[in-house]
Amino acid sequence: MHRRRCLSAIVALGVIASLLLPATVTAPPAAAAPAGTKKVIANLFEWNWTSVASECQSTLGPKGYGWVQVSPPQEHVRGNQWWLAYQPVSYRIESRKGTRAQFQSMVNTCHAAGVKVIVDAVINHMSGQDNGGTGWAGSSYGHYNYPGIYGFQDFHYCGRNGGNDIANYGDRYEVQNCELVNLSDLKTESDYVRTKIAGYLNDLLSLGVDGFRLDASKHMPAADIAAIKGKLSRSAYIVQEVIYGAGEPIQPTEYTGNGDVHEFRYGKDLARVFRSERLAYLRNFGEGWGHLPSASAAVFVDNHDTQRDVGGVLTYRDRGIYALANAFMLAWPYGSPTVMSSYTFTDRDAGPPSDASNKTLNTTCYSGWECEHRWGVIANMVGFRNATDGAGMTNWYDNGNNHIAFSRTGRGFLTVNDEDYAITGRSYYTGLPAGRYCDVIHGTYANGSCSGPVITVDGNGWFAANVPAHDAVAVHVGARLS
């Protein structure tokens, strides 16, 4: 479950401010499924089901997002803090984000828009409330008692650290048998527990869910996850939350046999480079930095956990630099990318905008909700990712500092200038077919036209452009003008 630059000067540049504007979208008929290979996930963190459904139709489908990740849908403890959704009290699909019927309708609507649904699934533990109580949907529970589901015998009691909590991440047994911040730790080696967990996941599959983000996977042996996966009624996309720790006995590579694994080093390394190092260092970013193999890596600039760790990663608060980092992620041929979509917060524990009963309000973008997935540069670069899927990286250029460029072989080209000055009077070799292309950093391509600057690639694959400070240019074959 958990720049060395003056940002005010960056945001003052009109060209960077334009990166943050929502991309123009035109919703297709609900039954229309966007064509092509689409792998980018939008993490609509803590959105309610009605709002997710609407967003699939209006934005995610039209902009080419392949997946939407939704927050835990099971009944949880009462309250407002975001982390209460990660404290299940039953496996009923009833939460502050909506009812089972609303969830089912959301899945159907997203599928009609060509968007698959991945659920954030909490299966390592139940609640962290010592005295128990009544859950969101009325189920009674105790710390180790969930009537009709689990009893005392279904949990771990490691007997360490005065309260069964994890203290030493250098001890494999403790990490996987003690409690994560007092959350009652399920005995996932038990066939009974595995069957109950699989029953919950299979219920979601019966509603049409396409995949699962398995929360707190590091706290379950990979073999236990494999056994639960073996009980699923049909195949599903799996991505596991396993946070890398240097020198720790439990490593993300242990889990790749079950599915994809979150590469937490990616966002931290990218933030450090953009803030205080040189973009030129990114030439072999990913596996060349010791990260997971690309085919198993799920990557993100930030997620709902890391954006609450002050200074660790870039977040929506970094505005222009955050947009550029996401543009790089979506253009770079490593891993499977997830775009974060946040609500505004100052208190790290604060839950989403809610009514007096703590029911999550409908999303209103840019008013309590950040909606980074709609920012012009990010939304438009999803199309770049789709158009360049499977193409390698060629034609790397850097100036030894903070101006880089590269091609996705024959399919797309990106140049990022993160210097404090404009790069003028130079040409770029793209290897793209000759033609006129929409610069998707600054404009939206739709119906054969571009709302922003048009880049002309000559018969030899070159184009000339001036790139302002802290800005970029991106073109791809999917946004080529007639």
φ, ψ for residue 400, nearest 5 deg = 85, 0
- Active-site position among 46, 154, 185, 241: 241
Question: What CA–CA distance (Å, rounded) separates 166 from 179?
Answer: 6
Spatial CA neighbour of 233 closest among 260, 206, 197: 206
- The verdict on whether 302 is a catalytic residue reads no
Residue with tokens 């939350």: 241
Q: For the chain, give me the number of helices (H) and strands (E)?
A: 11, 21
- The verdict on whether 241 is a catalytic residue reads yes
Report which secondary-structure segment, H or E, holds 262: strand 260-262
Distance of CA 200 to the CA centre of its chain: 23
User: How many other β-carbons are positioned within 10 Å of the β-carbon of residue 431?
Assistant: 17
Question: What CA–CA distance (Å, rounded) separates 233 from 209?
Answer: 12
Question: What CA–CA distance (Å, rounded) separates 425 from 28?
Answer: 41
Token output for 230: 């073996």
268-to-67, 188, 314 alpha-carbon distances in Å: 24, 31, 8
φ, ψ for residue 408, nearest 5 deg = -100, 105
- Active-site position among 46, 75, 179, 215: 215
Question: What CA–CA distance (Å, rounded) separates 399 from 366?
Answer: 37
Catalytic residue numbers read 215, 241
